[in-house]
Structure 1
Amino acid sequence: MIDIKFLREHPDVVRASQKGRGESVELVDQILAIDEKKRAAVTEFETLRQEQNTLSKSVGAAKGDEKAALLENAKALADKVKAADTKRAQVEEQTKALILQLSNLLDTQAPIGGEEDFLIIEHVGTPRDFGKDGFEPKDHVELGKLLGAIDTERGAKVAGSRSYYLTGVGALLEFALVNYAIQSAVKNGFTPVIPPVLVNPAAMEGTGFLGQAAENVYRIEKDDVYLVGTSEVPLAAMHMDETLPVDKLPLRYAGYSSCFRREAGTYGKDTRGIIRVHQFDKVEMFTFCKPEDAQAEHLRLLQWEKDFLSAMEIPFRVIDVASGDLGSSATRKFDIEAWIPTQDAYREVTSTSNCTEFQGRRLNIRYKDSEGVKAIATLNGTLVAIPRMIVAILENHQNADGTVNVPAALQPFLGMKKFEVV
């Protein structure tokens, strides 16, 4: 949520941010207009309440006919106070509803444009030349069958399109990735968490996932709960309506959970294999920190993601995501894209976002220092999204005979150096 005081004092900054995102600039003026009405309604209510308090004191001191007259006036005034209070509450609710439609302020360093207008920050590693190795690489679906690791046919039979089974070494590879990720996170000061994946509307709305991202959210209407698309949601809402002590910051969590996404609007995209699926497991990093520390923390999250990809021995690039492709909560986002040999392209495998105080205000999470109580900043970053990491590992480390070499970092968790054809 944008600070209304900032919006009043710097409306042009908010307008420029909305324009950069390709979102409604007019919304800013609508909010300013209703904010004026809200403040007028609050003033009217408080003035009437003060009159009511003054009149109540006069009634207590009056006698006889004077008291009867004052009581009559008090009754009429009470009706006015009630009406003013109702008006105030309605306008405040309307104001909040409009403010919730505003996305976070863009970082001035974020590139402006649509999905294809990202900036490449760096390349790490060199894509493998399979021609020199003397064979044409197989894709992860074919490798998954050879290894007995991935079964998309039975997944579709049981759960529909974009569904799959991880079996044998596929399942073992997931456990290894999760264990390595959690071990790495703990070394870096994160507390491991297994959060709920069913959350209430306040948690989903507070993190910003009921706006532009709502079409990809699964909702269980009978119980009015949502399946999360990322553990960012329950991790952020974990401290909803709390005030955190400053000496506990930064507070870092690593959440492991299943994630659910409808993948609306992606008809025909990535229908083969497990790159784009409805259910997957993920280890997500989440940080609560002071706003002035958020930019530095964002770079730390990115570095931990880079370290993970490097440990998997996979070539990748880091991109600065363009404004029109940001989620509503993010002021800036970096994606890491792994090289996928059979697609001859880099594909997103992790991302990290700085959400500044946007989610903190929406979830009413604050921290207290010597100067008082302030809104807290939040950041998130994927340490490992299992299916896409499996795709990257299988395709980059395959051999001509269909076997796949296991990255050295995962060998202690798997007890093997190679996945054999079954």
Structure 2
Amino acid sequence: MGLILELLREDPEKIKESQRKRGFSETIVERVKELDKRWRTEKYNLDKARHKRNKLTRKIANLEGEAKQEIIEEAKSLSHEIEKTEEEVKQLEEKRNDLLFSIPNVLHESVPVGEDEGDNVPVKYWGRPKIRKKNAPVFEKETGGETPYAFWEFEPKDHISLLEKLGGADFDKAAQVTGSRFYYLTNDVVWLDMALLTYALDFMSSKGFTVIEPPFLLREAIMKGVLDLNEFKQAIYKIEGENLYLIGTSEHPLAALHSDETLPKDDLPLTYTGISPCFRKEAGTAGRTTKGLYRVHRFNKVEQFVFSLPENSWEWHETLLEHAEGILRELKIPYRVVNVCTSDIGAVAAKKYDIQAWMPGPGEYREVVSCSNCLDYQAVRLNIRYGEVKGGPAEGFVHTLNSTALATSRTIIALLENYQQEDGSVKIPRVLRPYLKPYQSAPKTQLVPLRQKENA
């Protein structure tokens, strides 16, 4: 029995409170509760009828003649009733589960109530952002004076201008041949993208995570298990004429890795890091950072994923956040952590942190990491349980957690803008340099503007 069904029977008010915080209707809770009550009643009647039939069947063996025939007829009649009740139980269960699965995850009590992403609550700042002098009063007000800062000695450029000077991307040609929100990465920025991926995999494997490159396509039934497909149908790509979707993140195929399995509890947690391209329509975001690398239809990402015992999942949520913070600290990119509010959290997570990197171009903190505890929301839908032995009797559903380790497109923005020099060159963080050193053509310590390269 999953957490939401358990709460429905024992503490429905907790689900209603979560619905209210999300701004959703509470009536669905009563509808599911009524269907569950009817299902339990019919299931009780079914079990009772089966038990009676079994008693009659045993009785037949000891009877003869007319008495035996009477019991046989009674058993036949009972079998017809059982068939009807079985169908009723099946239909009630399907109706109940369809409604039950449409209820979002039950929010953790610490999730702030809010109307949009502006109501996300900062919980931590790290680093010393460089800001424009004229923006100091606004920065101090927005951060509550909680983080130190330094001033730029020149006017910082945004990543689009820097990429143009570096010859690192071609957005116009990509738009011409494919459409908006696509890009060609070129020259040294391709090496930078590869170095970031390799570094992130190395970082996560050093934490004991198993490295996986998953399938990039998933069946619809699996997609329904890992996300609210009604909510995300406009955000992911479906293959025309196929029952397949392109993945929006490796979280989804990693979640499905143990579908329909009972995992030995002594093997938990299972920790994975996935590397994959991610494909997203970004529907409904017109006018929101449409140029550049920030909000694109395809990007590369390294993901963290954990299958945990229920009692350990909140500890793992904090651990995944620590890993993501550790990567940004090693890259020396200033950031803040926010507790994501009710309207921005989505249906699957019970609690979510975002990490927002400081981006000097726009002079804002912008999201580069999402870190979620999904409790048993995905496990119930994918039928992933735990027990004493693999495939044996189940004790309950596992909890699943996910977090970005590093998404290259947004990290490249943060690197270019924070490490830029007045001449348009960009220093490469020291932690990345070992991942570029083996390649003769790769940049080693800095990205140099194309014109300087040509004149060298």
Per the normalisation by structure 2, the TM-score is 0.88
Specify every segment of 5 or more residues in structure 1 that has no aligned partner in the other structure, as ranges. Answer: none
Shift, 1:48, TM fit: 2.4
**Structure 1 counterpart of 2:433:** 411
Q: 2:327 and 2:248 mapped to 1: Cα distance?
A: 22
**Residue 165 (structure 1) aligned to one of 184, 190, 205:** 184
Shift, 1:271, TM fit: 1.1
Task: Tell whether 2:48 aligns with 1:26.
Answer: no
Shift, 1:349, TM fit: 0.4
**Structure 2 counterpart of 1:176:** 195
Q: 1:70 and 1:331 mapped to 2: Cα distance?
A: 55
3-state SS of 2:343 partner: helix
**Structure 2 counterpart of 1:138:** 157
Name the aligned partner's letter for residue 112 of structure 1.
Answer: V
Instruction: Please say if residues 335 and 365 of structure 2, whose CA atoms lie closer than 8 Å, have aligned partners that are also in contact.
Output: yes
Instruction: Please say if residues 385 and 394 of structure 2, whose CA atoms lie closer than 8 Å, have aligned partners that are also in contact.
Output: no
Q: 1:245 and 1:144 mapped to 2: Cα distance?
A: 49
Q: 1:318 and 1:70 mapped to 2: Cα distance?
A: 71
Q: Structure 1 pair 56/333, CA: closer, same or farther in 2 (3 Å)?
A: same
Per the normalisation by structure 1, the TM-score is 0.95
**Structure 2 counterpart of 1:97:** 98
**Structure 1 counterpart of 2:400:** 378
**Structure 2 counterpart of 1:254:** 273
Q: Please identify, of 117-126 and 171-180, the stretch whose mean Cα deviation from structure 2 is larger.
A: 117-126
Question: Considering only aligned residues, what root-mean-square deviation do their CA atoms show, in Å?
Answer: 1.9
Q: 2:337 and 2:230 mapped to 1: Cα distance?
A: 27
3-state SS of 1:337 partner: strand
Q: 1:174 and 1:266 mapped to 2: Cα distance?
A: 25
3-state SS of 1:394 partner: helix
Q: 2:339 and 2:4 mapped to 1: Cα distance?
A: 26
Name the aligned partner's letter for residue 119 of structure 1.
Answer: V
Instruction: Please say if residues 113 and 324 of structure 1, whose CA atoms lie closer than 8 Å, have aligned partners that are also in contact.
Output: yes
3-state SS of 1:329 partner: coil
Q: 1:55 and 1:291 mapped to 2: Cα distance?
A: 44
Report Cα offsets for 1:104-155 as digits up to 9, x if no partner.
Answer: 1111111122222111112111221456544322221121122121111121
Q: 2:26 and 2:188 mapped to 1: Cα distance?
A: 51
**Structure 2 counterpart of 1:392:** 414
**Structure 2 counterpart of 1:278:** 297
Q: 1:220 and 1:177 mapped to 2: Cα distance?
A: 30
Report Cα offsets for 1:200-238 as digits up to 9, x if no partner.
Answer: 223212122414233212222522111111111111110
Q: 1:27 and 1:111 mapped to 2: Cα distance?
A: 23
Task: Tell whether 2:200 aligns with 1:198.
Answer: no
Q: 1:3 and 1:183 mapped to 2: Cα distance?
A: 37
Report Cα offsets for 1:375-401 as digits up to 9, x if no partner.
Answer: 211111101111111111111111122
Report Cα offsets for 1:303-331 as digits up to 9, x if no partner.
Answer: 11111111222111110111221121211
**Structure 2 counterpart of 1:121:** 123
Name the aligned partner's letter for residue 385 of structure 1.
Answer: A
Alignment of 1:148-163 (within 5 A): 148-163=167-182
**Residue 332 (structure 1) aligned to one of 345, 348, 351:** 351
Specify every segment of 5 or more residues in structure 2 that has no aligned partner in the other structure, as ranges. Answer: 134-150, 438-443, 451-456
**Structure 2 counterpart of 1:36:** 37
Report Cα offsets for 1:43-68 as digits up to 9, x if no partner.
Answer: 22222223333333444444444444
Q: 1:319 and 1:133 mapped to 2: Cα distance?
A: 26
Q: 1:59 and 1:266 mapped to 2: Cα distance?
A: 70
Q: 1:13 and 1:74 mapped to 2: Cα distance?
A: 45
Q: 2:324 and 2:359 mapped to 1: Cα distance?
A: 18
Q: 2:130 and 2:322 mapped to 1: Cα distance?
A: 23
Identity of matched residues, %: 39
Shift, 1:24, TM fit: 2.3
Shift, 1:248, TM fit: 1.9
